[in-house]
Chains A and B, each alone.
Chain A
C-alpha cells in the first residue's frame, strides 16, 4: 500500500470491500466484475420505478413480477463461475 493511501478513501481496501461490495481490485477477473455490473444494474432497475414500469410494459409483465424476476436474477446473474485455471 502506498503512503498516499493513508489519506484517502482507499486507505483500507479490505474495509472498503466489505462496505461497498461492488468495488474491485487489481486481481478481479472478468466474471467477478460482470457479476457486480449485473447486480448493480438489476438493483438500479428495481430502484428506479419508471425503469421498472418501462421494462414491465416491454415484456408485458406486471411490475411486481418484473421486480421479482430481477431480484431472482441477482442470484447468480451470470451463471456459475467458470472453472479457475489454477495458477
Chain B
C-alpha cells in the first residue's frame, strides 16, 4: 500500500516537474492538500451546493507588516513528511469499542416493522396485516403487564424460598427440598396465586406467538441480530421476550436438574422459556428467524388462536426436519451473523460440547457392540423420548430423522474462508459485510431476476459503494440514491440501510456516511417515510447520546428532518408507545428524540401532548419520560424556552408531589434545567413551584433532596436581589447540613448550589463570611476532595465564586497555609484556586503578612512538585507574581535563586519549567528595576543554550526572548553580537518549538538591534531562513518571512538579493518557491526599484527555472505592492510580453498571473494603455487546456475586467460567441459568463446593436432617446 502510494506520488511529482516547475498555487493544493480527513464532512449540508473553500477567500486587508500573502504561507510546500497522520491513514475506529454498556444497549433494540400510515390510507380501515397504533399500544401494555407479572412471580418465589429455607432449616433435610425446588414451576401454577395463573394464560409466554401474523420480528430481515442467539452477558434476548425477570428466575433456580442435563451456559435464557411451559417446540422459535416476511404473511394471523406452540406444528410454512434443525450451528451462524470473536468462540465451544453429548446413533451403537449375541428390541409403545428443548435447539440433525448421509448439493458459490472478490466495479467487502451484501457476490444473471430483486440489488450495490467505496464512488452512489429515492421506494431503501446501521462492527466514518444517506433520502421521500418513522428512530436515537459531539448533532439533524417530513402526528404516534417502555434506555433516548422534535416543530405544537403525558395516570414511566422531555427541551434549545416557560413549568409542576420518587427527582432536575436555560429571566414562571420545592427540601433526603437543591440553586439566581438574599439564607441552612454528606453526587450538587447562591446579587459578603465560610472550609477544603477530578474542579469554581464576593484576603488567608500541605494534589488545588482568585481580583487587599506567607508557600509548592502536567504551579506562580507587581521585589533574589537552581536540575521537565517561569515574570522583574538580575539570568540562559532536550531549549529561547523584550537590545547581557551567532546554528534545529522561539528571537533582534551584528552574520542567517520557510507551522513561516524583510532593511537588499537570485538555480522546487517569496518580500521592504533591475536582469539567464522564478517573484511582487505597481508597469511590460509569447507553458501561466496582480493593483490609476497591450498578449492563450494555465489566463482576463472595464473585455469576447466551431464558442461563452457575473450592469451599455427581425424586436430604442 505504502509503496504504491509512494510510487504514485513520485510519478506525480515527476510529471509536475516536467510540466510546471513553478506553478500557481492551486497546483500545490493538488499535491499536498486533500488528505483523507478532509473528505470527512463534519456536517451535513442542507443543500447539495459545494461550499467554497473559505480559506482562500479571506478578504485582503491592508498590509500590517511585511509579509507574504496568506495563500502563500498556507500553501507553502511541506516536504518529506509522509507520516500516517498527514496521509489520513488513521486506524479505523469502531463505535462499539468506545461505547459503555449503557450505550451498547442500542443493539438490543429491534428495528420495528413499518406501521400504518393513516394519512396515506385516508378513511380506509387498515389492513389487518399492518401494524396500527392501537396494535402497538396493545403490545406495549402487554409487555408491561408481563413485566409486572414476572416481577410478582419473582417476588413470590423469593418469599417462598425464604419460607422454605426456614422450613428446611427446621427439618434439616436437603434431599427433600431439591425435588421440591425442581417442581416449583408446576407447584406455583397449581397452587400459586392469581398472578401466576394470569401469567400462564394471559400475556406471558404466549405473547410472542400470539401475534405471529403481524410478523413483528421478521418484517425486517436483520441478520445482524443473530448475534443474539448467544446472549453474551447481560444482553436482552428477544427470543423469549422475558428480559430481566427471566434471568432472575434462572439465576436463583437450579437449572431444572436432570431434565436438562445438556444445558449450555450460553443457553441460560433459552432454558428459561421452556421451563415455564411444558412442551415448547423449538421449531416454532426457529421459525421466527427463518421465515421470510413473505411467508409470514401467508401464515394465519393467530391473534386469537389457541397457543400454537403447544400443537407442535407451526403455522409457519417452514419445513420441518433436519435442515431446519441444523440452522443454528455455528458455521451457519457465522455466515449470517456479525459475530464477534468472543461469540464465535463461545459458539464453537458449545458446538463441541453438544457434539460430545449428543445421543449415540444406531450406527455408532452397531459399531460399538459385537455383531452377535445382541438383539435390537423395539422400544415400548409408551416410550416417549425426552427432548430437552435446550438440546434440541442446538442439536445436530439427529433427533429429527434417520441421519443418512446424503451427498450435499455442490455449491460453487461457497467461500472457503477466503473473501470472495467482489464483482467488478464494487469496492472491497469486509468479512462482516457479507451478511448484508453477500447477495452481490452471486454471479447471477441480472436479467433473470424479478424487477423487485433487481431493485434490491441496485440498492445494495449503491449502499456498498457508499459504505466502502472511494470518495468518487461514494459521491456518485450517494447522488444516485438520492435521485432515485422515490423510485426505489421507502421500504426497500430503509430495509437495507437500517440493518447496516445496527451492525455491531460499524465504524464512525461508516455510520456517518450511512446517516448521510438517510438524511438525503429523507429529504426526497418526504411523506413516504411515515410508516418507517419508528424504524428510523430506533437506529438514529442512539446517536443522540453518543459521546461524539458530531454524532449527536447528526442525530439531531436527522430527527429534525424526519419530523418535518413525517409531521407531528406521525412522530407522536411513532414515539408514544416508547414513552412508557419498560426499558429505561428506550425511554431515555425517546425523551431526547422528543426534545428534538419539539425544537423542530415548535414547542407550542407539542405542549398539549406533553401535558397529557406528564399527567398520565397509567404509569409512572410515562410521567417520568414526559417530564424528562421537558428537561431535554430546556437543555437543547436554551433561552428559546422563555416564551413557553410558564406553560412548561405548569406541565411538570405536579411532578414535585408525585408518589414516585423517580418522578419527583426528574421534575426537580427539569426545573433546574429550565431555570438554567432561562437565566436570568423568567422567575415569575417559577412562582408556583417555589413552595413545593421549599417544602421538599425539608422533607426529602438523599437523591431527591439533591435534585430539589439543584432546582433551587438554579432558580435563586433568577430572583430579585432581596428575594435571593432571603431564599439563600433559607436554603443555606439545609445546604450547610448537607456539607457533611458523604454522597459524592450530593457534594457536587451542594457545591454547585453554593456557587449559584453566592454569585447572586443581594447575597452579602458579610453573611457569606460569617455563615458559610467556616463550615464550607471545614467540610470541603480537605485532601480527599483533591483526589476526584470532578470534585476538584467544582470546589475550585465554587471557591473562586465565593472569593469574588468576599475578596482575596479571606479566601487566600484560609488556604495559604495549605500550600505547604504534604499532599501534592491538595497543594495543586490550593494553588489553582489562588491563581484564579488572584487573577480575578488582583492582589491589592493582600497584606504584608499574607504576602509573605503566600510567596513562601508558593515557593515551597513550586519546589516540591513532583509531577505537574497541567502547569498549575507554573501558572499560579506567574499569576501571583504578576499581580503583586513591585511588591515582589524583596523576594526576587530568592525566586531567581530557585530558578537558577532548577535550571541546573537533572530532570528536563524541571529545567523547562524554570525557563518558562522566567518568561512569565520577566515583565515584573523589569517593573522592580532588577535589570542587573535579569542580565544575570540572561547570561545563565545563554550558557544553557547547549540544552539537548528540544522542549527545554525552546523554553530557554522563550525566556531569552522575554528578557530581550523587556530590557532592550543595548542593555542585554550577553551582548547581542555574542548572542546572535550562538542562535544561528540553533536555527537548523527542526523541532517546532525550538524553531518558533528561535525565529521569534532572531526576528526581534533583526527588527530592533540589527546594527549590533555584522552583515556577514545576517547573511548566514538568511541562508538558514530559506530553509525555515518550509516549516509546517504557519507562525514559523510568517516569522521567517518577516525576518527576511527586517534583515534586508538592515543590511540593504543587494547582498540578500544576490543570495536569493542564486538560490533560484537550485533544483529543488520547494526551495525555489520559498526563494521567490523572499525576493518579493525584500522588494517590498526596500522598494521595488532596488530589486527590479537585478531581477529583470536575471531573466536574461537562459534557464527555465530561473526565468520562471523571476516571473513568479514579479507576480508576488505586484501582489504585495498593489498601487505602487503603477510606477513599474511600463518597466516590466517588455519582459512580460516576452514571457507571454514564450513557448513554455509555465512562462505564460506565471506571466498571466503577474498580469492579473498588476491589473488589479493599478485599476483606476491610468495605466490602461499598458494593460490593453498586455491583454492582447494574454488573449491568445484562452484556448489553452492545461488547467493551471487556463486558470491563470482567465484570472488575468478577470483582472482586466476590473482594470479596463467590462465593455472592453466584452468587445474582445463578441467575436467568438457565435463562432461556427463549438470549441471556440464554449470558451468564449465561458469568458462571457464570468464577465456577466462580475459586472452585469456595466454590460448593458456595451451590448451590440441587434437588428429587429420580422416578428422579434431585438433593438433597444430606449438607448437612442435624446432630450
Task: Please determine whether B1256 and A34 come into contact, CB atoms closer than 8 angstroms.
Answer: yes
Query: Residue-by-residue, is B1236-1267 near A (CB-CB < 8 Å gives 1, otherwise 0)?
Result: 11001101100100100101111010110111
Task: Please determine whether B1257 and A77 come into contact, CB atoms closer than 8 angstroms.
Answer: yes
Task: Please determine whether B1265 and A34 come into contact, CB atoms closer than 8 angstroms.
Answer: no
Task: Please determine whether B1187 and A4 come into contact, CB atoms closer than 8 angstroms.
Answer: yes
Q: Is A54 part of the binding interface, using a Cβ–Cβ cutoff of 8 Å? A: yes
Q: Give B1168-1194 interface residues, CB cut-off 8 Å to A.
A: 1185-1188, 1190-1191, 1194
Q: Is B1226 part of the binding interface, using a Cβ–Cβ cutoff of 8 Å? A: yes
Q: Is B594 part of the binding interface, using a Cβ–Cβ cutoff of 8 Å? A: no
Q: Is A59 part of the binding interface, using a Cβ–Cβ cutoff of 8 Å? A: yes
A40-B1244, A58-B1266 known; A9 vs B1258 contact (CB < 8 Å): no
Q: Is B180 part of the binding interface, using a Cβ–Cβ cutoff of 8 Å? A: no
- Secondary structure at the B interface, as helix, strand, loop or mixed, is helix
Q: Is B1225 part of the binding interface, using a Cβ–Cβ cutoff of 8 Å? A: yes
Q: Is B1229 part of the binding interface, using a Cβ–Cβ cutoff of 8 Å? A: yes
Task: Please determine whether B1234 and A45 come into contact, CB atoms closer than 8 angstroms.
Answer: no
Q: Is A25 part of the binding interface, using a Cβ–Cβ cutoff of 8 Å? A: yes
Residues of B within 8 A of A59 (CB): 1265
Closest-CB distance, B53 to chain A (whole angstroms): 10
A20-B1236, A58-B1267 known; A40 vs B1243 contact (CB < 8 Å): yes
Residues of B within 8 A of A54 (CB): 1265, 1267
- Secondary structure at the A interface, as helix, strand, loop or mixed, is helix
Report the bound CA distance from A58 to B1188 in whole Å: 51
Contact of B1234 among A10, A37, A40, A77 (CB under 8 A): A10
Q: Is A64 part of the binding interface, using a Cβ–Cβ cutoff of 8 Å? A: no
Report the bound CA distance from A82 to B215 in whole Å: 62
Task: Please determine whether A78 and B1258 come into contact, CB atoms closer than 8 angstroms.
Answer: yes
Smallest CB-CB separation from B1260: which chain A residue?
A: A41
Q: Is A75 part of the binding interface, using a Cβ–Cβ cutoff of 8 Å? A: no
Task: Please determine whether B1225 and A26 come into contact, CB atoms closer than 8 angstroms.
Answer: yes
Residues of A within 8 A of B1188 (CB): 4
Q: Is B784 part of the binding interface, using a Cβ–Cβ cutoff of 8 Å? A: no
Smallest CB-CB separation from B1237: which chain A residue?
A: A20
Task: Please determine whether B1267 and A8 come into contact, CB atoms closer than 8 angstroms.
Answer: no
Q: Give B1-59 interface residues, CB cut-off 8 Å to A.
A: 26, 49-50
Q: Give A1-59 interface residues, CB cut-off 8 Å to B.
A: 2-4, 6-10, 12, 15-16, 20, 22-26, 28, 30-31, 33-34, 37-38, 40-41, 44-45, 47, 54-55, 57-59
Q: Is B1232 part of the binding interface, using a Cβ–Cβ cutoff of 8 Å? A: yes
Report the bound CA distance from A34 to B927 in whole Å: 76
Smallest CB-CB separation from B1227: which chain A residue?
A: A26
Report the bound CA distance from A6 to B1191 in whole Å: 10
Report the bound CA distance from A12 to B1236 in whole Å: 16
Residues of A within 8 A of B1185 (CB): 2, 4
Residues of B within 8 A of A9 (CB): 1233-1234, 1237
Residues of B within 8 A of A77 (CB): 1257
Task: Please determine whether B1256 and A82 come into contact, CB atoms closer than 8 angstroms.
Answer: yes
Smallest CB-CB separation from B1189: which chain A residue?
A: A4
Task: Please determine whether B1241 and A4 come into contact, CB atoms closer than 8 angstroms.
Answer: no
Closest-CB distance, B25 to chain A (whole angstroms): 11
Q: Is B698 part of the binding interface, using a Cβ–Cβ cutoff of 8 Å? A: no
A23-B1233, A26-B1222, A37-B1247 known; A78 vs B1241 contact (CB < 8 Å): no
Report the bound CA distance from A58 to B1264 in whole Å: 10
Report the bound CA distance from A1 to B185 in whole Å: 77
Report the bound CA distance from A59 to B1226 in whole Å: 41
A57-B1267, A59-B1265 known; A24 vs B1229 contact (CB < 8 Å): yes
Report the bound CA distance from A73 to B142 in whole Å: 71
Report the bound CA distance from A9 to B273 in whole Å: 67
Residues of B within 8 A of A6 (CB): 1187
Q: Is B790 part of the binding interface, using a Cβ–Cβ cutoff of 8 Å? A: no
A8-B1191, A78-B1256 known; A55 vs B1265 contact (CB < 8 Å): yes
Task: Please determine whether B1237 and A78 come into contact, CB atoms closer than 8 angstroms.
Answer: no
Task: Please determine whether A4 and B1255 come into contact, CB atoms closer than 8 angstroms.
Answer: no
Q: Is B971 part of the binding interface, using a Cβ–Cβ cutoff of 8 Å? A: no
Contact of A4 among B1191, B1232, B1244 (CB under 8 A): B1191
Q: Give B327-378 interface residues, CB cut-off 8 Å to A.
A: none
A79-B1255, A79-B1257 known; A23 vs B49 contact (CB < 8 Å): no
Task: Please determine whether B1244 and A41 come into contact, CB atoms closer than 8 angstroms.
Answer: yes
Q: Is B769 part of the binding interface, using a Cβ–Cβ cutoff of 8 Å? A: no
Residues of A within 8 A of B1226 (CB): 25-26
Report the bound CA distance from A30 to B1217 in whole Å: 10
Closest-CB distance, A58 to chain B (whole angstroms): 4
Task: Please determine whether A25 and B1240 come into contact, CB atoms closer than 8 angstroms.
Answer: no
Residues of A within 8 A of B1262 (CB): 41, 45, 55
Closest-CB distance, B479 to chain A (whole angstroms): 13
Q: Give B1142-1196 interface residues, CB cut-off 8 Å to A.
A: 1185-1188, 1190-1191, 1194
Residues of A within 8 A of B1253 (CB): 82
Closest-CB distance, A49 to chain B (whole angstroms): 14
Residues of A within 8 A of B49 (CB): 15
Task: Please determine whether B26 and A7 come into contact, CB atoms closer than 8 angstroms.
Answer: yes
Task: Please determine whether A23 and B1237 come into contact, CB atoms closer than 8 angstroms.
Answer: yes
Task: Please determine whether B1257 and A4 come into contact, CB atoms closer than 8 angstroms.
Answer: no
Provide a sorted-by-A list of 11 A–B residue pairs whose CB atoms are within 8 angstroms. A4-B1186, A7-B1191, A24-B1217, A26-B1226, A30-B1258, A31-B1256, A33-B1217, A34-B1258, A38-B1258, A38-B1260, A77-B1257
Interface of A with B (CB < 8 Å)?
2-4, 6-10, 12, 15-16, 20, 22-26, 28, 30-31, 33-34, 37-38, 40-41, 44-45, 47, 54-55, 57-59, 77-80, 82
Q: Please provide the 4 A-B residue pairs with the shortest distance between their CB atoms, ordered closest to farther.
A: A4-B1187, A26-B1225, A44-B1244, A58-B1265
User: Other CB < 8 Å A-B pairs besides A6-B1187, A54-B1265, A55-B1265, 13 of them?
Assistant: A9-B1233, A23-B1232, A23-B1236, A28-B1229, A30-B1258, A33-B1217, A38-B1258, A55-B1262, A57-B1267, A59-B1265, A77-B1257, A78-B1256, A78-B1257
